Amino acid sequence: MKECIKVSKLLSRYLDKEASCADNLLIEAHLDKCLSCKKELLELSRIKELVLGKERKTLPQDYLVCRLRQNIADERCIIKQGLSWLSGIGDFSRKIIPVPVAVIVISLVFMILTSKQQLTEYSLEEHVLSGAQTTTETALGVMLGVLN
């Protein structure tokens, strides 16, 4: 019975001619004396035959090639259109875009500097309110962000 379980697991591999030589010997010796495993093998081989005998589909030789050519040509066309649109934007940007970009950059720098100053002022105030000893050195440290 134990051998049946072992062999039945190997039958599929045996049927596909993928079993090792040692497994082949074991399976064949077992099949000689076990009718139920022999029946199992017959059923498996019948199933394999059914799938193997399944009708195969075929396409005309150039069918897919034509579809692919069309698809690839369409894709290229879209990419080209995309690039021409980008190059149009490029011409435009050379003349107009630097001005708003510069304004945005300057605004960002100003905002960062202002927020940093507010933060250090608040930190210094907080330091004084905390009752800790405030010397020129600690005040400078807090303002420069070296000390908390």
Partner 1 sequence: MNEDSFYVRQFLTGEKDGFEILVKKYQDRVLNIVYSIIRQDRESEDIMQEAFLKVYRNLRYFKERSKFSTWLYRIVVNTVYDFLRKRRNFISNEDILEMRAATCEGPRDTLLTREKEAMIQEALLGIPLKFRAALVLKDIEGLSYIEISEVLRCSIGTVESRIFRARQFLKEGLLKLTGELR
Residue 94, interface with partner 1 (CB under 8 A)? no
* Alpha-carbon span 62 to 115, nearest angstrom: 67
- Residues in Cβ contact with 8 at an 8 Å cutoff, skipping those fewer than 6 apart: 37, 40
Segment lying near partner 1 (by CB under 8 A), choices 24-32, 43-51, 108-116, 140-148: 43-51
**Distant-in-sequence contacts of 90-96, Cβ < 8 A, 24+ apart:** none
* Alpha-carbon span 19 to 1, nearest angstrom: 21
Q: How far is the CB of 14 from partner 1 (least distance, A)?
A: 11
Q: How far is the CB of 112 from partner 1 (least distance, A)?
A: 43
> Could you tell me the two tokens for 147?
């000390």
Residue 16, interface with partner 1 (CB under 8 A)? yes
Size of the site for partner 1 (CB under 8 A): 29
Residue 113, interface with partner 1 (CB under 8 A)? no
Residue 71, interface with partner 1 (CB under 8 A)? yes
